[in-house]
Amino acid sequence: MAKTILFVYGTLKRGGRNFFRMAGQEFVGEATTAPRYRVIDLGAHPGLVHDAENGLAVCGELFAVDARGLAELDAFEEVPGPFVRERIEVPGHAEVWAYYMNTPAPEGAKTGDRWPLA
């Protein structure tokens, strides 16, 4: 059965407080996106946005996720709702997906290329 390659950048990463939600999924490796994105600090967790003009190469991890795991992660991320799952450009990988914020970034929120922010 085909698996979806998912880019994670926050609490779902290894060592993150929600990493347990990745149980049974295959860690592919650490990865960095093309420089077209930005991580937004939302306090307890981050969000990801497209930023064509001032984007950064965001650091995260890739996992090969089965259909059941993807459905559970979509439910956890409340997709579609506060987050949506869309493609992300990761050099060297043909088709990668990530969870993006589906709401405007809070005014004055800190941003960067990784979470937690430096």
What's the per-residue H, E or C state across 25-41?
Answer: CEEEEEEEEEEEEEEEE
Domain extents for the chain?
4-112
User: Collapsing DSSP states into helix, strand and coil, what is residue 14?
Assistant: coil
How far, in Å, CA of 12 to CA of 26, rounded? 13
The mean per-residue pLDDT over the stretch 63-77 comes to: 97
Site of tokens 């497209």:
50
Give the global pTM. 0.95
User: For residue 49, which amino acid is it?
Assistant: V
Select 4-112's CATH number: 3.10.490.10, 3.40.50.720, 1.10.1060.10, 1.20.1740.10.
3.10.490.10
Which pLDDT tens digit goes with each residue over 32-49? 999 999 999 999 999 999
Please give the mean pLDDT across all residues of the chain: 95
Q: Is the model's pLDDT at 1 over the cut of 90?
A: no
Catalytic residue among 53, 61, 72, 77: 77
Residue 81 confidence (pLDDT): 94
Site of tokens 């991890």:
61
Annotation marks residue 77 as catalytic? yes
How far, in Å, CA of 118 to CA of 105, rounded? 19
